[in-house]
Amino acid sequence: MLIDATELTNGDSVEADLCIVGAGAVGIAMALEFDGSNKKVVVLESGGFELEPRTQSLYKGTHVGRPTYPLDRNRLRFFGGTTNHWAGHCRPFDDFDFSVRDWIPHSGWPIQFNDVEPYIERTQQILELGKYDYDSLEEYASQLGFKTLPLDSSRLISVMKHQSPPTRFNTAYRKQMKDSENISVFLHSNVLELLTNESASHITGADVACIDGPRYKVRAKQFVLATGGLENPRIMLLSNSTAPNGLGNSRGVVGRYYTDHILIRPALDISLSRTDLDFRLYTDLHEINGGLMFGIMTAAEELTRKEKLTRFRFHLYNLPPRYDVPVGGVFSAIDEAPEVSPLSKEPGSHIQVHMAMEPIPNPDTFVRLSSTDTDLFGQRKLEVNWQVSDAELANAHRAVEICALEFARMGFGRAYSPLLENPHQWPSTFTSGKHHCGTTRMSDSPDTGVVDSNCKVFDIDNLYVTGSSVFPTIGHTNPTLNLIALSLRLADHLKEKL
């Protein structure tokens, strides 16, 4: 059922078994797990079916650290959430991503890949990705008449990514939500605060408001916050009537450890020394097993451990060189490619390499409430303090160097990157991934996390948080497939609880 909450009456009260806040990728995927059951599910969504400027303005905030994309541009506040403009690249985390890596402070999840893996097949369907198979790149390459790059597999390996069409949850799942008899989506419903008992250990309701419309309450047995990696902590911090520091925040962890992928696009321009090279396995999309896939490169686990690096991946693009510079000499000692100076702009004479790198979790990068700026409900806006460290710069430099050396070793050409010339400065092509993570991180201790291994907020018996905000570390891969799989696991847990 779809209900426009502007048609409710001020002071109304809605009852449910389960209340999910947010109808983005997570909120919709989770709610549909209950479709046809005997549980009454209410989904509260801030927006309608299209972008409405006043609703979108509720996402405004400021960067108080390193500036990146404006906060009201890199997420969307209406039905379907940010999937209304996501790109659709998908790959599951590996085992390795969940492990404690003793050279990365605060690494290690309280769950393992095995805990999430049973939900990936179903997530593949939700995201229209085709069969769950990320292991057969070689086989698919030969079926398609391509070859993977002859990489030294102790250093770099080729792996597969799947490509969603990309699924727009707004249109793909609106009808099923509308037709459901036990799921009610309340549109134009902004959750201003979650209300609690006196000791702030139990959620008693949600205080919900429409812009220029009624204000009403939702009461439910269980509550799930699914409003994205920045808004999840904001709602927890704004819910401070009984807990002055915000919900689940007695130890001050909510909003800390904010993190995002470090992107350098391009990280390298490769001037090719051969004309017979075919990168289409990596640069183009290929139909296979009812879905689309392409190849990327990443570091072998062995190398990552040996050199104590974070994880990184490289995408190849058939794009003209970004850096208009001579490339002679950068790898002259090992590179037998003929001198090409400046980079040739002829099609097929070069390839661009884009890098996405895993950051190092840091409690001092954070999101918090502004002390001065408020939104149109009078609620404090977000301030985001994103920082990158010298250790991350050194990690990025080494990752780029490894890739450049590998292209030289294969005899494919010469590489240029400003990072190779000046390892002490981030290149101008450095940015963030628009993947907001870590702000309500999962941990086995409330001293270092906000939610436990079931995504339940420590010390609150009926509040769950899900999405990329619970990721303690983020690997090199994109978040959405992983955060949906984790949320389907939460849906199973809640089915048992209810």
Ligand X SMILES: Cc1cc2nc3c(=O)[nH]c(=O)nc-3n(C[C@H](O)[C@H](O)[C@H](O)COP(=O)(O)OP(=O)(O)OC[C@H]3O[C@@H](n4cnc5c(N)ncnc54)[C@H](O)[C@@H]3O)c2cc1C
248 binds ligand X (CB under 6 A): no
The C-alpha atoms of residue 456 and residue 248 are separated, in whole angstroms, by 10
Number of residues binding to ligand X, judged by CB under 6 A? 40
78 binds ligand X (CB under 6 A): yes
Residue 3: what are its φ and ψ, rounded to 5°?
-125, 130
Which amino acid appears at position 166 of this protein? P
CB 43 within 8 A of CB 404: no
313 binds ligand X (CB under 6 A): no
Q: Which helix (H) or strand (E) holds 370?
A: strand 366-374
Smallest separation, CB 3 to ligand X (Å)? 14
The b-or-e profile of 391-421 (16+ CB within 10 A means b, else e) is bbbebbbbbbbbbbbbbbbeebbbbbbbbbe
CB 111 within 8 A of CB 99: no
435 binds ligand X (CB under 6 A): yes
Determine the interface stretch with ligand X among 138-146, 213-221, 397-405, 477-485 (rule: CB under 6 A): 477-485
Backbone conformation region of residue 303, classed left if phi is above 0, alpha if psi is from -120 to 50, else beta = alpha
87 binds ligand X (CB under 6 A): yes
CB 357 within 8 A of CB 419: no
3-state SS class at 356: strand
The C-alpha atoms of residue 243 and residue 261 are separated, in whole angstroms, by 32
Determine the interface stretch with ligand X among 88-96, 249-257, 340-348, 392-400 (rule: CB under 6 A): 88-96
Determine the interface stretch with ligand X among 116-124, 216-224, 411-419, 474-482 (rule: CB under 6 A): 474-482
89 binds ligand X (CB under 6 A): yes
How, if at all, do strands 463-465 and 215-225 pair? Answer: parallel
Smallest separation, CB 22 to ligand X (Å)? 3
Smallest separation, CB 244 to ligand X (Å)? 20
Structure tokens at 489: 């696991």
Q: Which of residues 181-200 bind ligand X (CB under 6 A)?
A: 189-191
- Pick one of 32, 33, 41, 88: the residue that binds ligand X (CB under 6 A): 88
CB 380 within 8 A of CB 369: yes
- Pick one of 228, 291, 295, 321: the residue that binds ligand X (CB under 6 A): 228
Smallest separation, CB 102 to ligand X (Å)? 28
Determine the interface stretch with ligand X among 23-31, 209-217, 243-251, 354-362 (rule: CB under 6 A): 23-31
Backbone conformation region of residue 186, classed left if phi is above 0, alpha if psi is from -120 to 50, else beta = beta
The length of the chain, given as a count of residues? 498
419 binds ligand X (CB under 6 A): no
- Pick one of 47, 255, 413, 438: the residue that binds ligand X (CB under 6 A): 47
- Pick one of 20, 74, 404, 406: the residue that binds ligand X (CB under 6 A): 74
- Pick one of 5, 20, 25, 494: the residue that binds ligand X (CB under 6 A): 25
Query: Which CB sits closer to ligand X, 313 or 398?
Result: 313
439 binds ligand X (CB under 6 A): no
357 binds ligand X (CB under 6 A): no
86 binds ligand X (CB under 6 A): yes
Q: Which residue is nearest to ligand X (CB)?
A: 24
DSSP 59: G
Residue 372: what are its φ and ψ, rounded to 5°?
-120, -35
**What residues make contact with ligand X under the rule CB under 6 A?**
21-27, 44-47, 74-75, 77-78, 81-83, 85-90, 189-191, 226-228, 231, 235, 434-435, 467-468, 478-480, 483
